[in-house]
Homo-oligomer: A and B are copies of this chain.
């Protein structure tokens, strides 16, 4: 089967690029001496997770209980659910732990810790728990020096039905960096903050075996991860336009794309309509943060895919994408380049958001032959 045999829009995964990306990160983490526990929130695929484990990962990170269940059912045993835990979800994790899975959750408040301890008490399984540390991302987590870190850790450590296991942070603010030097500085903030929290715990007489950092930009650019035990990058597997703009990958490393068909022309605006719109591509306009409106994805040829320079999905309705050149830029006529019926591929702004719209990948290996179909997990 060839790509042209598939209906559009379809999510395409280039296995050759994926494997290159996995190898590069595995080598980096080995060099820095930390375990790799990749975040599967981007790929959400058992087949990708198998490749990740083949490339040196020690376990998985997930963003939903549905992912945890899917990966356990797919044979994976060691899973960290890295979103602040709400105790009412424990009932869904218990069967996974009863089936032999090793599940780690995170909390960053005493109410959440107490609720978790209470929820765990009726069960014969023992979830591991990390305390979430905020190293500048300003999402979840406590400041490294906050005495509540020690209070919550002690509470968890002393409770009979949970196992306190350490600290975790995510340097989400690395996405706001605009230079390699800035990302390196954030990586050091991330490392320093979480290691500081771990040291404070140890000085308070608590064990802290896990010291976990996350984010693809910091994993790509960190020079030193002393004191850190594991890293949880995720989007590095696929890359996307945002990661390319950050310098975390090249455009030609991007392993995932949306295949679409040209369904109409607007010669008055030199725009073409494709059948991949706001649902098929997502509405993520993250790259606009770099200063110029870049639309909803980079349009490429079907083969390659080779980027059509300056040709972007400028805007979208639910199932319509408007393809053209950003205002003020010039080049060959887009209607001329893309006759009605042409197949294109769109490199996503944000692979996590785009891939989440699909239930499977059409897998290619650098060409147009479809070599496999890989499932994905959806929902919560």
Contact = CB atoms under 8 A, between A and B. Distances in A.
Nearest to A137: B317
Given A8-B380, A139-B273, A341-B115, A84 B279 contact: no
B359 A317 contact: no
A337 B231 CA distance: 36
A59 B41 CA distance: 39
A320 interface: yes
Interface residues of A, number: 57
A266 interface: yes
Given A318-B63, A319-B64, A341 B283 contact: no
Interface in A203-253: none
Contacts of A86: 8, 261, 263, 275, 341
Nearest to A284: B283
Contacts of A139: 273, 317, 320, 322
B109 A264 contact: yes
A-side interface mostly? loop
Given A264-B108, A265-B109, A283-B284, A41 B319 contact: yes
Given A89-B7, A92-B7, A263 B112 contact: yes
Interface string A1-28: 0000001111000000000000000000
B264 A319 contact: no
Interface stretch (A178-186, A297-305, A350-358): A350-358
A282 interface: yes
B278 A353 contact: yes
A10 B66 CA distance: 12
Contacts of A322: 139
Nearest to A92: B7
B352 A318 contact: yes
A285 B322 CA distance: 18
A284 to B, nearest CB: 6
A65 B7 contact: yes
Given A263-B86, A340-B112, A319 B63 contact: yes
Contacts of A92: 7
Contacts of A353: 278-279, 283, 318
A345 to B, nearest CB: 15
A331 interface: no
A370 to B, nearest CB: 15
9 contacts: A41-B318, A41-B319, A83-B263, A83-B275, A84-B263, A280-B380, A282-B283, A283-B285, A359-B378
**5 nearest A-B pairs in the assembled complex, by CB-CB distance:** A84-B263, A111-B340, A283-B283, A84-B264, A86-B261
